Amino acid sequence: MSLENKFHEKIEEQAKDKKEEKWRAMSSNLELIQNNETMNNSKNTKVLIRLPSKAIICFIALFILFLVVVTIISIYLKSNKNIKVRYCTSDEYAVSETDVSLKEYAESINKTLLFFDWYEETILLTEEMTKLNDTGEIICFAETMMDMNTGYMVTLRVTDGWTDIDALESIKDLCYNQSLEQGIKVEWGGGLSKSCAIFEYEDYKYYLEVSRTDDMELALEYVALLLSVGSE
Amino acid sequence: MVKTMVKSVSRLLFTALLVANLSLLSLGLKSQPKETYSSDASLFSYNSVKEEIYFSEREEEYIETSNGVPLYTQLSSLENSCGPTAGAIIIGFYDKYYEDLIPNFRSYFPATGNYLPNDRTYVPALMQDLYVKMKTNVADVGVNEVDCLSGLKQYVNDKNLSFSYSSVQSGSNLNETRYTNALRENKPALLFNNTTDVFQFSTNNGVDVFSSSTISGNHIYVAYGFYKVKYILTNGNERVDTYARVACGLSFYTDAFIRLSSTTVSVPNQWLNSAYSISIS
């Protein structure tokens, strides 16, 4: 063998060792890489599996909640015959006197309204109707009578359950307290020589005022009287 | 000479013109006051605002005319009739002391002394009479202050009684001393107001609730009470408010309070044009 060939064989042997060494290093690196990829894939696989179930659960929960809310609202709406509340301001209505009593008014509209049946005894009785300017519809009926047992002047105003009148907002502010009277929620309050109360009964709102009294709870007594007559 | 004559004539003419202008000016100054009072319920804005005052202590002082005043309300058949309504309240008040002021009518309930509200006959007739005497809706919409007072005077004089009035005003507010003195003498007052915030309130455990509304436009009230309340607030501060109690003459607002002063909140000071305590004897 020529010297050249011997050197070539030597180099090849060394190179071969180094090659093998390099192959071993490369193959171990490859293994590492492959292991990492496998781990990542498994992690990715785990994440992919978690996210959809969470999202689905959340979605289902929200949907159920939505159904519950819609159901509650539907039941509430069905239990209220008319949920539209109208707010009437002073430029939309006018007040005028009338000879019709609250009792007669109730009969004329075929409704069961509460009233004080003192017509035979009282010495003073006045009525007023509040009517919308454009339609003439009666939105509030007011009756003022003297309670001959006490001498107090009692004013009772009645509106339907879906009508609010700006002039009656202040009495709502003043009726700061709440109590139950024969199962009916009554809001009441009183100031200097005045006692007032508000309640709803069979789709009608009642606003009661007693003047020239320092007994803040006096209006409650009159409400109790009204409700006891109504329940007969 | 001609020049002198021309100068003299010119001076005479100038003087005559000056005098004529001054006369016209003075006539204008003496003419009827321009403010008229005509607020009907339809012009009011009940934009109620709620205020709660929390307190640990509370003291109040209240004086009013004897049994207040009758809380008459405007008739729908009489337009712009706040003047006649306020006048009727004054007449109804004094009818208790001079029975023939409203003939064949008793304005109060004898058992309690409290005034009665509108009846269906006599109070409407009284308002109608005052409506004419006050020249309501004649020269202008509603009444002015001069016609309101003179119409009242005429009604009272026709009943052989005397009528007088005295200012209880300081600037654009009530003079509290003169006003309270009038109340102690059992004299209500006529208030000629422009746009006014009126209050109603309720007293509860530890909190007073005030509800205010703005009655827009010129309106005449009858003042019959003075209310002073002092709070020690829950934060330890002191607050003192004073109010005039007034009959408003409105169906939904028969009576209310006008805040005169407050140590804590700002109070409008342009609501009052004139205020007079009224005396009939």
**pLDDT tens digits along A76-117:** 665 554 457 899 998 899 999 999 999 999 999 999 999 999
Which pLDDT value is given to residue B30? 41
Confidence grade of residue B27 (pLDDT, cut at 50, 70, 90): very low
pLDDT in tens, B81-135: 999 999 999 999 999 999 999 999 999 999 999 999 999 999 999 999 999 999 9
Q: Does the pLDDT at position A46 exceed 60?
A: no
Q: Find the CB nearest A173 among B48, B75, B227.
A: B48
- Residue that wins the pLDDT comparison between B132 and B215: B132
Q: What span, in angstroms and rounded, lies between the C-alpha atoms of B278 and B164?
A: 6
> What residue numbers bound the domain in which B18 lies?
1-28
pLDDT by residue (tens digit) across B136-150? 999 889 999 999 999
Q: What's the rounded Cα separation, in Å, for the pair A225 and A109?
A: 23
Query: What is the reported pLDDT for B4?
Result: 73
Beta carbons of A151 and B109 less than 8 Å apart: yes
pLDDT value of position B268: 84
Residue B112, CA distances (Å) to A148, A153, A213, B128, B226 in order:
11, 11, 11, 28, 22
- B41 vs A: CB within 8 A: yes
Average pLDDT over residues A208-229: 93
Question: Looking at beta carbons, which pairs linking B56-61 to residues 24 or more positions away fall under 8 Å?
Answer: B56/B206, B56/B232, B56/B233, B56/B234, B57/B231, B57/B232, B58/B203, B58/B208, B58/B229, B58/B230, B58/B231, B58/B232, B59/B229, B59/B230, B60/B227, B60/B228, B60/B229, B60/B230, B61/B227, B61/B228, B61/B229
Q: How many domains does chain B have?
A: 2
Instruction: Establish if A91 touches chain B: CB-CB under 8 angstroms.
Output: yes
Residue B107 covered by a domain: yes
> Is B124 found in the same domain as B18?
no
Mean pLDDT over B8-17 rounds to 65
Predicted confidence at residue A226, as pLDDT, reads 95
> Measured between CB atoms, does B31 come within 8 Å of chain A?
no
Domain shared by B52 and B19, yes or no: no
Q: Say if residue B194 is in the same domain as residue B272.
A: yes
pLDDT single digits (tens) A187-204: 999 988 899 999 999 999
DSSP designation for B115: B
Residue A65 has pLDDT above 80, yes or no: yes
**Please, which contacts does A45-49 make with residues 24 or more away whose CB atoms are closer than 8 Å?**
none
- Indicate whether B242 and B137 sit together in one domain: yes
The answer to whether position B33 is within a domain reads no
What's the confidence (pLDDT) of residue B166? 98
Instruction: Say if B115 falls within a structural domain.
Output: yes
Residue B157's alpha-carbon distances to B69, B85, B160, in angstroms, are: 21, 18, 5
DSSP-derived pairing of the beta strands B189-193 and B272-280:
antiparallel
| Whether B42 and B112 share a structural domain | yes
Residues B242-265 pLDDT 10s = 999 999 999 998 999 999 999 999
Residue B65 within any structural domain of the chain: yes
* B60 and B137 together in one domain: yes
Radius of gyration over alpha carbons of chain B, in Å? 23
Shared domain for B69 and B45, answered yes or no, is: yes
Alpha-carbon gap: A146 to the closest alpha carbon of chain B (Å): 9
Q: Which residues of A touch B201 (CB under 8 A)?
A: 174, 191-192
Are B209 and A176 a contacting pair at CB < 8 A? Answer: yes
Decide if pLDDT at B14 tops 80: no
Neighbours of A89 (CB within 10 A): 15
pLDDT, mean over chain B:
89
> Which of A157, A192, A216 to mutate to test binding with chain B, by most B CBs within 10 Å of its CB?
A192
pLDDT class for A68, splitting at 50, 70, 90?
Answer: confident
Tell me the average pLDDT across B215-228. 95
